[in-house]
Every structure is written in structure tokens, then in C-alpha cells.
Chain A
């Protein structure tokens, strides 16, 4: 019985995931795109939970759906009408070619997953209760993956400085334009 419930939740989350993903791409209002992406990230967090990724699911909601998407919404609001996006670019031929390219990637991946690797991936390894918990993730980050952890902090620092520099430079040029 519990199994059926898990299946139902999984199917709902997967359907929500695909539907909101399509909405992100097809909506012409950037606000609905960004809000749909929040729904997409939240339903992905449900899938992470069902795959025993508790900490990743929590980080997904906190970092992505929280911080990153708020930044997106702030910029969309700041740009106002300028952020409004025409639906697609290029000729009809380019649009059709884009869809065909995406479908080709999908087909190749599906063939690889379902035909080639499907048998090997269908029986999961046994895991203990600590799998995916914050304690275990933290232990790995501070022992086996310490270099990745430190590099991540440097990348975030550089990105923050880069964001500040990008913001400052254009302001200085605006002032120069105003004086001339």
C-alpha cells in the first residue's frame, strides 16, 4: 500500500516537473517563466527526497527556489517591460531545427538509458539510514571532498566580486555619459 502511495507521489512530481519545465520555455511573460521554474525546482526536490537525497532536497529548496529565484524575480521586476520576451527567434526553419535537435538528444539519451543501461541500473545498492543525511554529506565534504568544498567557496567569492564589478562599471560609464 505504501508502495502505491510512493508511486502516486512520484508520478505527480514527475508530471509537475515536466509541465512546469515546458511552461518555463513557452511562457511569453518572464514572470510566469520564473514562477514556473520555482515549481519545477520544488517538484525536483520531491524526486530527490524519493531517491534518498534528503540534504540535496533541502538545499534545492533553500538555495535554488529560495535565494536564486528571488534574485531572478528581482532582476525581472527591475527591468520591467524591457524584460518582456518575444516567444522565439529566427525563421521557422531555425525553430523547427531547434526542436528537432532537442528531440534528437532526448532520443539518444532514452535509448542509452532504457536499452543499454536499464538492466544494470534497476537493482539499487543497499543503503543504511545515514545515506544522504546532512551529517554524512558534511562528513564527506570535510574529508574526501575537501578540495571541491574549498574550490566552491572560491568560485562563489569570485562570482560575488564579479557581480559587484559588473554593476559598478556600467554605473561609472553612465556617469561619464551624463557629464559629456
Chain B
């Protein structure tokens, strides 16, 4: 295969996933949390495409495309929630949103 072997793709995927985790844990703005979630989903997609290449089966790419569709749906609902929060004049801060805490 031209270029790097698949384990290198998996290393990049792992680094991206760790970046996404730190974003979700560190940031308080729901917008940035959503963006970090996208990074994590894309890290998983990169691993799927890499595995699909290594085994010569297209199922991994099909799964990556399905993940993409689910991510689009998630962004749609997530952004709807954020806009609804902003319209009710709630603070856009995930640490402040404690209404449902038991």
C-alpha cells in the first residue's frame, strides 16, 4: 500500500478521540461540547474507514456513512436545544443547567 500502514490511521484516530474527550470534559459552552462530540464521531469514522481498508470489506465505510447521518441528526436536535435554551434566556453553560438534577 502506498503511504503509511493502517495502524498510523488508528493512532491519528485515537489522538482525535482523546482531543474530543478533553473538549467535552473541559469546556462549558454547549456549542463547543457539540463540536467536540463531532470530533469524537469523526475519530470513530476514521477508525472505521481504516479497518474497512485493512480487511478489504466495505462494511466499515457503510457504517461510517451511517454515523455521518446520525451525527447530522444529532447536530439538528442539539442546535435546536441550544436555540431553545437561548430563547428562554437560560445561561449557555452546561454547569449551570441543573434543573433536572434529582
**Measuring CB to CB, which residues of chain A are less than 8 angstroms from any residue of chain B?**
2-3, 6-7, 9-10, 14, 17-18, 21-22, 24-25, 30, 33-34, 37, 40-41, 44, 47-48, 50-53, 55-56, 59-60, 63-64, 67-68, 71-72, 75-76, 78-79, 82-90, 95, 98-99, 101-103, 105-106, 109-110, 113-114, 117-118, 121-122, 124-127, 131-132, 136-137, 140-141, 144-145, 148, 152, 155-156, 158-160, 162-163, 166-167, 169-171, 173-174
* B42 proximity list for chain A (CB < 8 A): 40-41, 44, 64
A73 → B minimal CB distance (Å): 11
Q: Could you tell me if A167 and B83 are in contact, using CB atoms closer than 8 angstroms?
A: yes
Among B25, B56, B59, B62: residue with most chain A CB under 10 A: B25
Q: Are A37 and B31 in contact (CB under 8 A)?
A: no
Please, which residues of chain B bring their CB within 8 A of the CB of A21? Answer: 15-16, 19-20, 39
Given contacts A121-B7, A124-B6, A159-B72, contact A88 B66 (CB under 8 A): no
Find A6's partner among B3, B28, B34, B46 (CB 8 Å cutoff). B3
Q: Are B53 and A126 in contact (CB under 8 A)?
A: no
A117 CA to B5 CA in the complex, in Å? 12
Beyond A10-B4, A56-B65, A159-B72, whether A85 also contacts B87 by CB under 8 A is: no
> What is the interface of chain A mostly: helix, strand, loop, or mixed?
helix
